[in-house]
Every structure is written in C-alpha cells, then in structure tokens.
A and B are shown apart, each in its own frame.
Chain A
Amino acid sequence: MTFIQCEKVVKRYDDLISVDHLSFKVDKYEIFGLLGPNGAGKSSAIKMICGLLKMDQGQIYVDGISVNSNPIEVKKRLGLVPQELAIYENLSARENILFFGKLYGLRGKDLKNKVNEALQFVGLTDRQNERPEKFSGGMKRRLNIACAIVHQPKLIIMDEPTVGIDPQSRNHILESVKKLNEMGSTIIYTSHYMEEIESICTRVGIIDSGRLIALGSVQELKDQNKQDEKITLFVDHIPSEAIFELDVHPQIKEVTATEQTIEIFINSSQTYLQDILFILSKHDVKIQTLQREEPNLESLFLSLTGRTLRD
C-alpha cells in the first residue's frame, strides 16, 4: 500500500535545480533510504515532503493527502528529525521533549507516559534533567530523535541523523530506527553513507544533482551492478607508470592509489585479474595482500556517475 508518493517534484533556487523531477513511492512499513552525496538534494526533497518548502512543480501525497493543499493534515502524520540539531540548549532533555509533545497535542498522563517512553527509547532516561549543553554529540543526536518521535507518528523522516558521531552511538541509532519500524512506523532515512543505507533500508533511491539515478531494493541495485567489483591491493611500493598502465586498461573503470594501497574498480575481475597482476609484476611491485569486494551501492554510484559518494 502506497504511503508516500512523489510525482515529478521540482525545486529551484534561482539558476540551480536542487530537486529535478523526482518521482518515487514509499509503501507503508518500509524503511526507504535516500542515498546521495552532499548537495544532492536530499534535504530539499525531505522538506518538501514535510510541507516546509514550497515545490515549484509536481505533487506529493502522504497517506493520500496532498502536501500542497493540506499541509497541516500531512504534518499530523509525521515526525521530522532535522539534519541539524534542533533542540533548545537551555531546556533540559525532558523539557525539550515535553515542549514538542505538548505542541503535538499530547496532554496529561498520556504526555507524561510518551515522554518517558521517548526518553527510554533513546537511552536518555538517566540524563533527562540535564541540559544538552553538557551532552556529547551522540546524546544530542538521540535527543534530536526523541523530540520527533514523542507523539509516535506513522511516518518518521530522518535527515542524516548520524552525522558527526561515534560508531557506538551510530549503531544505537541504526538499531532504534529498525525498532521504530518494527513498532509500525514508515521511515524515510537519508544518508551519504552507503553502509547505513545497506544495513537498514528495505528500498533505496539514489539521487545525484537532484535527479533520481537508481531505485529499488538493496539487492536489486546490487544485481543491476553485478559486473562491477572492487579490488584492493596492499603493496610495497607504487610506481606511477604502473598506475598509468592500469588506468588505460579498457576494463578498469577507476584506479586510486594511496601510500601502500591500490583500489581498482573493474568489470568481472576473474577474467582480468591476470592483467592486473602482470602489470604490477612488470614494475617489480610486490603484493602483500589482495581483497576482492562484491559490488555495493558505492560501486553502483560510481558506475552511474563516475564519482564516489564522498567526494
């Protein structure tokens, strides 16, 4: 059952098209990932879904309701975790959640219970009376999430909820996204980390320069890119002539060399691994280890755009 429907949505800032005829659907109870590099238009797309940004063209429906004509009804169904921390530094964690809970119309016992649940959920019960000034980056991120889920919305939209935090907090957040989904929420999750998207999302849209360049389940996207593999070689030294020869090989898409590692993206490594080894031995390069990686969303992005996700 379709819960969110974007139809040819366009957003322009003067000359710049930040969202370019974006169309996709999200079913109920999905975790839908939007993957794209910085400036791809993820936040712009999300703000339009939430009714925070006027679109120049197109339509968005949430639960069958048009965002353009009835933003308030749409807003009632969602909780937004903004990309930036959106909390009050001089209110305690509990007060922050209470404030937003009240504005969502919660009152009395219901409010109290749901605030407690939200605190519990993000693991801030022990620190609830402290102000975020004293919190670590990860704790602030968790509070940022708690403020958006206190009213237990049907749709939770998270815009890069893990930027700038330690791996432990990140795992905690990823786990809680899954849990929220199991508890019945539909989730839209943006990131420029393909690992995050791969590990939690049921379906993924990859966007670049405002355009959707791939759409499907994680497995579908990997299959679409079957022949692309990544080979990583750890070597004793790297002569530039060797890199040059690798680069001009017709089946090798990209070569990057740093100190002692060479990364090679290639079509069907079985067939051409010999070529690589031949070139390297010709230049007296000793190979210490060799890794072959299955295709992933990163390599898909590379083969679609010729660039990596992170610059």
Chain B
Amino acid sequence: MKNIFTIAGYELIRFFRMRSILLIMLGLPLLLILILGTALSGVFQPSGENEKLEKVKVGVLNKDQGVFNQTISDFLFSPPIHSYVSVNLIKTREELFEKYESREIDYGIVVPADFSDSVISARLTSWEFIEGESIEKNLVARTIFESFISQVNEMQARVFVLGPETLQESLFTDQNLNLQYSNHVKIGSLQKNEGSTSAIQYYAVTMLVMFLLFSGMAAAISLAEEKEAFTLLRLNSIPLHSNTIIIGKLLGVGIFSLIQAMVIISFSTFVYGVDWGDDYITLFGVIILTIVSSTSIGVILTSLLQSSKSIIAIYQALIFVMTFLSGGMIPNLGDFLNSLGKFSINYWSSNTLIRLMIESDSTMIIRNMGVIGSTSLVLALTAGLIYWKVGYHE
C-alpha cells in the first residue's frame, strides 16, 4: 500500500517537472480559455484610451446569399463595430486584392458562399481573414470578426446540447437571427439566463472535457516511457506485489488530472465568471468518471502499441474524432451520425456538465450519470482484463 503511494507521489513530481506535459495539461487549456474569453468578452470596449485607436479599413467580400446575409451586413454596419472599423464592401476577389495592394484597405475578409448553410447544418465554418501589415490593426479586426463567428458558434453549441429543435425554434426568431450584434464587442453575457448559457460556458466545458481526455494520453505516455527508459525493468526487479506499479502510476495520473480539473474550473470561475452550477458532488463525479474512462483507454492503448510516439498519434486522433462527433452532432447528417456522436465520451460528459450549469432537470442528469458510469466501468474492466492478460513489463 505504502509503495503505491510512493510510486504515485513520484509520478506526480515527475509530471510537474515535465514541461511538455505541464504545457499540454495546464498551460494549453488556460491559454485557450484566455483566447476564447478575450475574443468573446470584448477587450475593445468603446471607452477611454481605446478610442484613440485609428479605425481599421476593412474590405469585405460577402459571397454568402443565405439566411445570414442580412445579419452579416447588419453586423458590419452596426454602431459598435463602426467605432473601430470602416467597412468597404467589395464585389470580387480581384478587387479585394487590388485595394489591398494599394493600401486602400488594411484588412480583408471573405465570407464563403456556403456560410449560412454551414451554420444551419452546424458544420465547422469560418471566414477567410487576409491580414495586413499592422499587427495592431490585424488584432482589432480579428478580434471583432472572430467574436461574431463565436456568437454563431454559440448557436451551434446550443444545438449540440439542447438538440436540433432549438435551432429551428430559436434561430429564426428575430432576436436570435440578429445575433445580438450590438453586444459583440462588449462583454458577452456570462450570467445564467434561464435555460441557456453563454458561449464561454460552453467553451469552458468542452475544454475541460477535452483536456481530461488528454490525461489518458498522459497515462499512456507515462506507462510507455517507463518501458522505454528501462526503469520498468528495475521496478520489476524490486519485491513489489503485482499490480503495485500500475496502480501507483495510474493513481498519480489521476491525482494530476484532478489538479488539472481544479485549475481549469477555478481559473474559469474567477477570471471569466463561469458558473459551474451548485452541484459540486455530481461535478466531481463527472470529472472522476471521465478520468477513469480516459485512463482506461490509455491502458488499453499501451498494451496494444509499443512506442510512446504511436500512442500519442493514435490518442490524438481518437480525441479529435470524439470531439468532432460529439460537437458535430448534426441533424442534417442523418440519424446514424447523430447516434454515433453519442458513443463519444465527450458527448455525455459535456452534456452533463452543461446540464449542471443550467440546472437542468435532475432525471436527465441522473440518466447521463448512468451512461457515464457504465461507460467508465466497461472501459475500466476491459483495461483490467487486458492488463491481466498482457501484464505490464518490458
């Protein structure tokens, strides 16, 4: 027993000394939340010193003819945007580049023709940004237009959690169609509105879940590296009871991931005012179960793959696919892909966390917890079985 804690303790020490792990597990989520948060909370409020900023001359080539066409032009000429940007509508790509060459515009934007369609069918979409020479102006333009895109994404996120019906219901009400553009460069509303959450709440959740999944990768890397560094050979020559080594190591990874979750949650709470709901016990439960699932996947992968390099590659692909399926859970892709998304760990964990935030119906939360619990149980048992068969040795 003591040995398990010794191994877990040193595992933690080594994690905190591995710069790459620290960066991925703690630095990156904080940075991403920071970037997303900045884009959403509008650092460029029309106040004081910021007004001295010279307006950015932006050339916009709007190829979109869909439902958002009007929204986009409303947005472009809305007063708050206008205080930073002077918009120059452009007809063709050639014209855009001519004006860009002759410095008539500082920044270029191309809205793709399928933008509206993509938004409605919740496909990933973005605008093409053509950066100019001034870093400062690029930053201003980028921040403003990305915040618009973020709002659009928020609507997609709403589809993700509350189902496609909401899209039909709310998207086409006037208020939503206008995307509250006047708010874009102001603080995005962070408070709980009944039944809905702001975009930053969604990002905090998806970031948390995604990076908890990386803890499984950390476990897998750590298990593989112990082999590669031959320290496992030495550990196995020490009179330890079987399983001590692997349990100790996984415990270390688990504690590290908990610390990671705590850092992400407190950071997002105190810096961005994200409200994680009041049910801390269930929150803790979701986090623990997600860690269990993810480390189990890590153990399974380690027994199948030899080098830490291939583990990293496969695991990243896995996280990507799961994140995609859960986030790209789309009405237009048909029932099949819809239900496929529900097989990802992200879907259930994120869904539950968001329900906790909006204090949704507790029967749904209980049902979700059941799914998460049984998933992690099955994964843990599979990992245990494989470990029992293959063992953990060099």
Q: How far is the CB of A160 from chain B (nearest CB, A)?
A: 13
Contacts of B233 in A (CB 8 A): 52, 80, 82, 84, 86
A197 to B6, CA, bound (A): 37
- Please tell me if the beta carbons of B10 and A99 are within 8 angstroms of each other in the complex: yes
- Please tell me if the beta carbons of B239 and A86 are within 8 angstroms of each other in the complex: no
- Please tell me if the beta carbons of A103 and B238 are within 8 angstroms of each other in the complex: yes
Is A147 interfacial (CB-CB < 8 Å)?
yes
User: Of all chain B residues, which has the CB nearest A84?
Assistant: B230
Is A88 interfacial (CB-CB < 8 Å)?
yes
Within 8 A of B (CB), among A78-105: 78-80, 82, 84-91, 95, 99-100, 102-104
Given contacts A103-B3, A103-B238, contact A91 B10 (CB under 8 A): yes
Contacts of A80 in B (CB 8 A): 233-234, 237
- Please tell me if the beta carbons of A91 and B13 are within 8 angstroms of each other in the complex: yes
Q: How far is the CB of B391 from chain A (nearest CB, A)?
A: 11
Within 8 A of A (CB), among B209-232: 229-231
User: Of all chain B residues, which has the CB nearest A76?
Assistant: B239
A103 to B3, CA, bound (A): 6
Given contacts A103-B235, A103-B240, A104-B238, contact A86 B6 (CB under 8 A): no
Is A72 interfacial (CB-CB < 8 Å)?
yes
User: Of all chain B residues, which has the CB nearest A75?
Assistant: B239
- Please tell me if the beta carbons of B18 and A50 are within 8 angstroms of each other in the complex: no
- Please tell me if the beta carbons of B237 and A89 are within 8 angstroms of each other in the complex: no
Is B76 interfacial (CB-CB < 8 Å)?
no
User: Of all chain B residues, which has the CB nearest A51?
Assistant: B237
Contacts of B393 in A (CB 8 A): 52
- Please tell me if the beta carbons of A52 and B236 are within 8 angstroms of each other in the complex: yes
- Please tell me if the beta carbons of A82 and B17 are within 8 angstroms of each other in the complex: no
Question: How many of chain B's residues touch chain A, expressed as a range?
Answer: 20 to 34
Q: How far is the CB of B375 from chain A (nearest CB, A)?
A: 34
Contacts of B394 in A (CB 8 A): 52
- Please tell me if the beta carbons of B237 and A75 are within 8 angstroms of each other in the complex: yes
Contacts of B240 in A (CB 8 A): 103
A78 to B234, CA, bound (A): 11
A79 to B237, CA, bound (A): 8
Given contacts A52-B393, A85-B230, contact A90 B237 (CB under 8 A): no
User: Of all chain A residues, which has the CB nearest B7?
Assistant: A103
Given contacts A103-B3, A103-B7, A147-B234, contact A89 B229 (CB under 8 A): yes
Is B14 interfacial (CB-CB < 8 Å)?
yes
A85 to B13, CA, bound (A): 20
Chain A 221-244 near chain B by CB (<8 Å), digits 1 or 0: 000000000000000000000000
A89 to B231, CA, bound (A): 10
Contacts of A91 in B (CB 8 A): 10, 13-14, 17
A103 to B234, CA, bound (A): 11
- Please tell me if the beta carbons of A88 and B14 are within 8 angstroms of each other in the complex: yes
- Please tell me if the beta carbons of B238 and A86 are within 8 angstroms of each other in the complex: no
Chain B 223-260 near chain A by CB (<8 Å), digits 1 or 0: 00000011101111111110000000000000000000
Chain B 83-114 near chain A by CB (<8 Å), digits 1 or 0: 00000000000000000000000000000000
Contacts of A73 in B (CB 8 A): 239
Contacts of A103 in B (CB 8 A): 3, 6-7, 235, 238, 240
- Please tell me if the beta carbons of B14 and A86 are within 8 angstroms of each other in the complex: no
A87 to B233, CA, bound (A): 10
User: Of all chain B residues, which has the CB nearest A72?
Assistant: B239
A103 to B10, CA, bound (A): 11
A72 to B3, CA, bound (A): 15
- Please tell me if the beta carbons of B238 and A90 are within 8 angstroms of each other in the complex: no
A93 to B345, CA, bound (A): 41
Contacts of A75 in B (CB 8 A): 237-239
Centre residue among B236, B237, B239, B241 by max chain A CB count within 10 A = B237
Q: How far is the CB of A143 from chain B (nearest CB, A)?
A: 12
A103 to B13, CA, bound (A): 16
Contacts of A90 in B (CB 8 A): 14, 17-18
User: Of all chain A residues, which has the CB nearest B17?
Assistant: A90
- Please tell me if the beta carbons of B6 and A99 are within 8 angstroms of each other in the complex: yes
- Please tell me if the beta carbons of B237 and A50 are within 8 angstroms of each other in the complex: yes
Contact of A88 among B229, B238, B239 (CB under 8 A): B229
A52 to B238, CA, bound (A): 10
Given contacts A88-B14, A90-B18, contact A102 B6 (CB under 8 A): yes
Contacts of B237 in A (CB 8 A): 50-52, 75, 78-80, 82
Q: How far is the CB of A19 from chain B (nearest CB, A)?
A: 17
A86 to B238, CA, bound (A): 13
Contacts of B3 in A (CB 8 A): 102-103
Q: How far is the CB of A13 from chain B (nearest CB, A)?
A: 14
Contacts of A52 in B (CB 8 A): 233, 236-237, 393-394
Given contacts A91-B13, A99-B10, contact A86 B231 (CB under 8 A): yes
- Please tell me if the beta carbons of A87 and B238 are within 8 angstroms of each other in the complex: no
Chain B 375-394 near chain A by CB (<8 Å), digits 1 or 0: 00000000000000000011
A195 to B185, CA, bound (A): 78
Centre residue among B3, B233, B241 by max chain A CB count within 10 A = B233
- Please tell me if the beta carbons of B10 and A86 are within 8 angstroms of each other in the complex: no
A148 to B233, CA, bound (A): 12
User: Of all chain A residues, which has the CB nearest B245?
Assistant: A103
A75 to B242, CA, bound (A): 13
Given contacts A103-B3, A103-B7, contact A88 B231 (CB under 8 A): yes
Within 8 A of A (CB), among B1-37: 3, 6-7, 10, 13-14, 17-18
Q: How far is the CB of B161 from chain A (nearest CB, A)?
A: 41
Within 8 A of B (CB), among A47-68: 50-52
User: Of all chain B residues, which has the CB nearest A104?
Assistant: B238
A126 to B238, CA, bound (A): 27
Given contacts A99-B6, A103-B6, contact A87 B231 (CB under 8 A): yes
A100 to B232, CA, bound (A): 12
Residues in B lying within 8 Å of A, measured CB to CB:
3, 6-7, 10, 13-14, 17-18, 229-231, 233-241, 393-394
* 13 A-B pairs whose Cβ atoms sit less than 8 Å apart in the complex: A52-B233, A75-B239, A80-B233, A80-B237, A85-B230, A86-B234, A88-B231, A90-B14, A90-B17, A100-B234, A102-B3, A103-B6, A103-B7
Residues in A lying within 8 Å of B, measured CB to CB:
50-52, 72-73, 75-76, 78-80, 82, 84-91, 95, 99-100, 102-104, 147-148
Give me 12 other A-B pairs in contact (C-beta within 8 A), A85-B229, A86-B234 excluded. Answer: A50-B237, A75-B237, A76-B239, A82-B234, A86-B230, A88-B229, A90-B14, A99-B6, A100-B234, A102-B3, A103-B240, A104-B238
